[in-house]
Amino acid sequence: MSEEAKTSLNRREFFSFLAVGWITFGAATAGFASLIFRYLYPNVVFEPAMDFIAGLPDEYAEGVDERWKNGFGVWIYKKDGKLVAMSNICTHLGCIPTWLPAESKFKCPCHGSGYYPNGINFEGPAPRPLERFKIFRNPEGKIIVDKTKVFRYEKGEWNNSEAYIDV
Partner 1 sequence: MIKEAINYLSSPLFSFTAFIILFALAMKRIDIVGTKKFGWGLLIFVLVVFVWMVSDPVFFTIISLPDNVPIIILNGLVFWSTWYALYRGHQNDLRIEAGEGPIEGTPENREKVWAWPNLVYTELFAGILCTIFLIVWAIFLKAPLEEPANPTWAPNPAKAPWYFLGLQEMLVYFDPWMAGVVLPGLILVGLIAIPFIDVNPKGNGYYTFKERKFAITGFLFGWLALWVFLIQVGTFLRGPNWTFYGPFEYWDAHKVVAENNINLSEIIWIKMLNMGLPKNIFVREIFGLIATFGYMFGTIPLITKKWGQSYLERMGAIRYYIMLALILGMMSLPIKMYLRWFFDLKYILAMPEFELNL
Among 127, 140, 148, 159, binds partner 1 (CB under 8 A): 127
The answer to the question of residue 128 lying near partner 1 (CB under 8 A) is: yes
Q: Residue type for 17, please?
A: F
Alpha carbon distance 86, 2 (integer Å): 88
The answer to the question of residue 85 lying near partner 1 (CB under 8 A) is: no
Site mask, partner 1, residues 6-45, x = CB under 8 A?
----------------------------------------
Task: Give the binding site for partner 1 (CB under 8 A).
Answer: 46-48, 69-73, 88, 91-93, 95-96, 98, 100, 102-103, 107-112, 114, 122-125, 127-128, 154-155
